[in-house]
Amino acid sequence: WGREDVALVWERWHDTRKSRIWRLFPNSPATPPKLLVDRSYEDNYSDPGSPIMAFSQYRRTVLRFTPDGKAIYLGGRGASPEGVYPFLDSMDVETGQTQRLWQCQDPYYEPVLDLLDDENVMLTSRQSQTEPPNFFLRNRKDNQTVQLTFYPDPAPQFADVHKQVVQYQRADGVDLSARLYLPAGYDPARDGALPTVFWVYPEEFKNRELAGQVTKAENTFSRPHRTSVLFLLTQGYAVLDNPSLPIIGEGDAEPNDTYVEQLIAGAQAAVDYVVRRGIADQNRICIGGHSYGAFTTVNLLAHTDLFRAGIAKSGAYNRSLTPFGFQGEQRNFWEASETYIRMSPFTHAEKVKAPLLLIHGENDSNPGTYPLQTERLYEALKGLGAVVRWVVLPLEDHGYRSREGVGQVLWEMVNWCERYLTPS
């Protein structure tokens, strides 16, 4: 809601990946809605952002208008081929045309959180690779800033960790990217190739060009928390975080009908990249993930020999136990049984040869990842003679929160990598 003549409605449709923004005229119900934005929500480069809100006289949040009342303010992430740079725009509520009012620059990542009453002073949260997030007031006219908070680095031990957003290509030409972390003090000439951990989570797309867009911000402050894979940097491992694993189905094709083939292609491209750069030892790469990333991990262990070991946390491995859809899959089991079965690593358990660490919260309430999923996979792998360890975390849900649970998971991950990635 904006005012009596302006209200906005956001509309999304999964099948077409369409996102639309309509203007409604509350004081004139007979007036047809006006389409302001019509785009694919997979297209991060065209994302207009979200409205900056204000409080009405009744203390309700409403759209914040420019002083002339003709436009509203939008704040967005600002993904582009050059990187991710948050912005502030105005959007004309008659035409949908936008005007760039401000955009952050290197070396910062600085999203706009709010505008003050004079419309020129913004509240932002600024961070960089070396500076933790803090709140600032920024004047758009003279670009002067006033720092409001002074939060220190919560983990200065990670100050010298090197982070880089890297780009490479899949064999079929699809552009891919990942966040590469190297341990503090790493010297390629002195240290050579490192044991490396991939932490994965695939995404589905209907457009191969949009699947290759750069959406990872390089200017963010990275510190580990809870069971983050980044803690392994302290033990001398390189980490490739969130390497792009797009599962693409253009036109009438369903992405998951070629899930396995595209998953393998994406993983192969990532391995080739870090090995070609001399960062990773090809014989000492571990693959891991949480939830759908755990599902991906076991699939890659079943269908490739790219990885020396695996870590799967709170995953689902038998898709017949999620028969009415999962992730972005809208077809049910009976409509796409072949795809469900082929995607299920449980049905390919006999192919898993690398050591696999399975972790699950005892009270996982996520409907797609009940603990039964991990229990049944463990029993299958154990019966087939695989090297597998199953860890149950008492009272933990889908994410792990207790000091004991988090500590146990970190110990398990470090111990597993030491056991199977350290040269004999």
What SS3 state is found at 47? coil
Query: Rounded to an integer, what distance in angstroms lies between the CA atom of residue 39 and that of residue 21?
Result: 9
What would the DSSP string read from start to end of 295-339? HHHHHHHHH-S--SEEEEES----GGGSTT-BTTB-S-TTTSHHH
Residues shown for the chain: 424
Range of the domain at 79: 1-98
Instruction: Examine the domain organization and report whether 166 and 55 are in the same domain.
Output: no
**What letters, b where the CB count within 10 A reaches 16 and e where it falls short, cover 263-290?**
bbbbbebbbbbbbeeebbbeebbbbbbb
Nearest-CA neighbor of 44 among 223, 194, 209? 209
Instruction: Examine the domain organization and report whether 144 and 233 are in the same domain.
Output: no
Instruction: Examine the domain organization and report whether 248 and 372 are in the same domain.
Output: yes
Average pLDDT over residues 244-267: 96
pLDDT of residue 199: 98
Choosing from 152, 167, 186, the residue where a domain stops is: 152
Choosing from 118, 152, 186, the residue where a domain stops is: 152
pLDDT of residue 424: 47
Instruction: Examine the domain organization and report whether 78 and 120 are in the same domain.
Output: no
pLDDT of residue 393: 98
Instruction: Examine the domain organization and report whether 287 and 190 are in the same domain.
Output: yes
- Active-site annotation holds for 128: no
Average pLDDT over residues 390-399: 97
290 pLDDT above the threshold of 80: yes
Residue type, 243: P
Number of domains in the chain: 3
Of the residues 291, 314, 348, 360, which is catalytic? 291
228 pLDDT above the threshold of 50: yes
Instruction: Examine the domain organization and report whether 94 and 109 are in the same domain.
Output: no
Of the residues 89, 241, 281, 364, which is catalytic? 364
Average pLDDT over residues 179-191: 95
Instruction: Examine the domain organization and report whether 197 and 256 are in the same domain.
Output: yes
Tokens read off for 232: 């392994």
CB 210 within 8 A of CB 43: yes
CATH number at residue 346: 3.40.50.1820
pLDDT of residue 119: 77
Average pLDDT over residues 230-236: 96
- Active-site annotation holds for 290: no
Instruction: Examine the domain organization and report whether 135 and 66 are in the same domain.
Output: no
Residue 420: pLDDT band with limits 50, 70, 90: very high
What would the DSSP string read from start to end of 67-120? TTSSEEEEEE--EETTEE--EEEEEETTT--EEEEEE--TT-B--EEEE-TTSS
pLDDT of residue 423: 67
Percent of the chain past pLDDT 90, that is, above it, reads: 95
Choosing from 152, 177, 192, the residue where a domain stops is: 152
Query: Rounded to an integer, what distance in angstroms lies between the CA atom of residue 20 and that of residue 385?
Result: 52
Instruction: Examine the domain organization and report whether 188 and 129 are in the same domain.
Output: no
CB 260 within 8 A of CB 343: yes
347 pLDDT above the threshold of 90: yes
Instruction: Examine the domain organization and report whether 114 and 196 are in the same domain.
Output: no
Residue 249: pLDDT band with limits 50, 70, 90: very high
Between 81 and 118, residue with greater pLDDT? 81
Of the residues 290, 348, 360, 398, which is catalytic? 398
pLDDT of residue 417: 98
57 pLDDT above the threshold of 80: yes
Instruction: Examine the domain organization and report whether 45 and 176 are in the same domain.
Output: no
pTM: 0.93
User: pLDDT digit string (tens) for 129-179?
Assistant: 999 999 999 999 888 999 999 999 999 999 999 999 999 999 999 999 999
User: pLDDT digit string (tens) for 101-120?
Assistant: 999 999 999 999 999 977 78
15 pLDDT above the threshold of 90: no
Instruction: Examine the domain organization and report whether 108 and 197 are in the same domain.
Output: no
- Active-site annotation holds for 117: no
Tokens read off for 172: 């079929």
CB 40 within 8 A of CB 18: yes
